[in-house]
A = this chain, B = another copy of it.
Amino acid sequence: MRTVERILDELKDMINSRKYSPLRSKLELLEPVDVAWLLGQLEPEERSPVFRLLPKEMAAEVFSELEADEQEQLIESFGDRELEFVLSGLYSDDATDLIEEMPANVVKRILKHTDPQKRAVINQLLKYPKDSAGSMMTTEFMDLKANMTVAQAFDRIRKVGLERETVYTCYVTDANRKLEGVITVLEMLMADGEDTVGELMNRNVIFFHTLDDQEQVARAFDKYGFLAFPIADGEGRLVGIVTVDDAMEVIEEENTEDIEKMAAILPTEKPYLKTGVFETFRSRIPWLLILMISATFTGRIIAGFEEALAAQAVLISFIPMLMDTAGNTGSQASVTIIRSLSLQELRFKDLFRVVWKEIRVAVLCGIALSVANFLKILLVDNLIFQAHVSVAVAAVVCVTLCLTVAVAKLVGCSLPMLAKKCKFDPAVMASPFITTIVDAIALLIYFAVALAVLKI
């Protein structure tokens, strides 16, 4: 797919030598999202003239694919009529997204040059909570009436189809816009022209409400393989649709968010290179501070056992290994559980199954790690490094390993599920948070076992 990048050099040449006619011909053949990418690679002052070259049918779609700062810059360069033309070509969800990204003075100008009907739709869409189905949907769906014949339905599709987000799934509504059924273009193609839509439609419509979570809607696409889902308001009236391409975007956003939370970052919702230094700093420092402060309590535990460590200084050298292993073990369990909760493969009622499984895995891991560690102490530390680690100390370390692994996996698998039950985001219960807890537990176990066995 590097053709687009090769074309970029060609296009830059054409722009520099003002070969606008061949430039337009080349752009015409590209997909809107590729044209948008190319515009983004140009200098700001080059963008407007190139944008104006685009065929009219393509302009609005290319505009909707640009980054927010590029859109803002173009709007500033547009005359009023140009702005009206581009805005009239945007689907309502893209127009709403645009308004959400623009500064206030630009929004004023946009709304002034949007026709009243569309303005009302946009205002309605803006009211929906962030991350809800309502904020994701668009209002340009293909609607039919049950008493239409298939032939009449196709006539309607021909008449308005180009202004619809998708025509292949059609929604049948009654006079009050209540959703009665759903029918696909394939079903209508296979039928007779005189059959009615009402006879053919599927009355068991799977739909969502405007206030449903966008992730729930997006995952339904993964589950059912549909092209679109209808969105209804509280009274069962069809108000919009969500299409599968929107769902893919949401899934990627939600995955990025989860991954960032699991690494103790506050989600930024922007590509890496588009976030400034201060913005990145602000997304990372809160958890770093919190975790640093909580890690100092782990330090207090060590300070409390300073005499024991002075008596058997060799104990100190095993602290990093024990803490690291506790952290890795805990986060293996927590990350797995968080991901499964996210994919809706697990529910809170599975808690006991999960805990029972993790205990058994922990026993196996604990045994494997202890044996490996014991051998390592005997063969590597003592023989190669001449560390003279006594068997008693080796036993203390290995017993601690076993117990720590068990506790770490227990904590790691149950905290995310408890978080979900208490309506917190399980992804926050991930690696850094759990690492801090299991680090402290690992040290407490270590010193307890050491005091008991070594009598120090």
The residue from B33, B186, B327, B350 contacting A327, defined by CB atoms under 8 A apart: B327
In angstroms, Cα B183 to Cα A114, docked, is 32
Residues of chain B lying within 8 A (CB to CB) of residue A346: 272-273
Q: Check: A451 CB closer than 8 A to any chain B CB.
A: no
Please tell me if the beta carbons of B332 and A263 are within 8 angstroms of each other in the complex: yes
Oligomeric state, in number of copies? 2
Residues of chain B lying within 8 A (CB to CB) of residue A31: 206, 224
Please tell me if the beta carbons of A345 and B291 are within 8 angstroms of each other in the complex: no
Please tell me if the beta carbons of B316 and A302 are within 8 angstroms of each other in the complex: yes
Q: Check: A47 CB closer than 8 A to any chain B CB.
A: no
Residues of chain B lying within 8 A (CB to CB) of residue A345: 271-273
Q: Check: A303 CB closer than 8 A to any chain B CB.
A: yes
Binds B, one of A15-23, A102-110, A153-161, A232-240: A153-161
Q: Check: A432 CB closer than 8 A to any chain B CB.
A: yes
**A247-273 interface (Cβ within 8 A of B):** 247-249, 251-252, 255-256, 258-260, 262-265, 271-273
Closest to A155 in B: B189
**A62-81 interface (Cβ within 8 A of B):** none
Binds B, one of A121-129, A131-139, A143-151, A334-342: A334-342
Chain A contributes a number of interface residues (CB within 8 A of B) equal to 114
Distance (Å) between the CB of A322 and the closest chain B CB? 8
Knowing A292-B369, A295-B325 are in contact, say whether A336-B260 is a contact too (CB < 8 A). Answer: yes
The residue from B288, B306, B335 contacting A313, defined by CB atoms under 8 A apart: B306
Please tell me if the beta carbons of A439 and B320 are within 8 angstroms of each other in the complex: yes
Q: Check: A422 CB closer than 8 A to any chain B CB.
A: no
In angstroms, Cα B292 to Cα A432, docked, is 18
Distance (Å) between the CB of A431 and the closest chain B CB? 6
Residues of chain B lying within 8 A (CB to CB) of residue A313: 306, 309-310
Knowing A324-B435, A439-B324 are in contact, say whether A186-B167 is a contact too (CB < 8 A). Answer: yes
Residues of chain B lying within 8 A (CB to CB) of residue A162: 186, 190
Binds B, one of A51-59, A170-178, A357-365: A357-365
Distance (Å) between the CB of A447 and the closest chain B CB? 12
Please tell me if the beta carbons of A288 and B329 are within 8 angstroms of each other in the complex: yes
Q: Check: A281 CB closer than 8 A to any chain B CB.
A: yes
Top 6 A-B residue pairs of the complex, sorted by shortest distance between their CB atoms:
A225-B245, A263-B335, A299-B317, A303-B317, A295-B321, A298-B320
Known: A158-B189, A295-B321; 19 extra A-B contacts, CB below 8 A, are A161-B186, A161-B190, A227-B227, A247-B248, A252-B343, A271-B340, A271-B343, A271-B345, A285-B364, A292-B321, A295-B325, A296-B376, A298-B321, A302-B319, A302-B320, A303-B316, A303-B317, A309-B313, A324-B439
Instruction: List the interface of chain A (C-beta within 8 A of B).
Output: 1, 29-31, 33, 154, 157-158, 161-162, 167-168, 185-186, 189-190, 204, 206, 216, 220-225, 227, 244-245, 247-249, 251-252, 255-256, 258-260, 262-265, 271-273, 277-278, 280-281, 284-285, 287-289, 291-293, 295-296, 298-300, 302-303, 306, 309-310, 313-314, 316-321, 323-325, 327-329, 331-332, 335-337, 339-340, 343, 345-346, 350, 353-354, 357, 360-361, 364-365, 368-369, 372-373, 376, 380-381, 385, 387, 431-432, 435-436, 439, 443
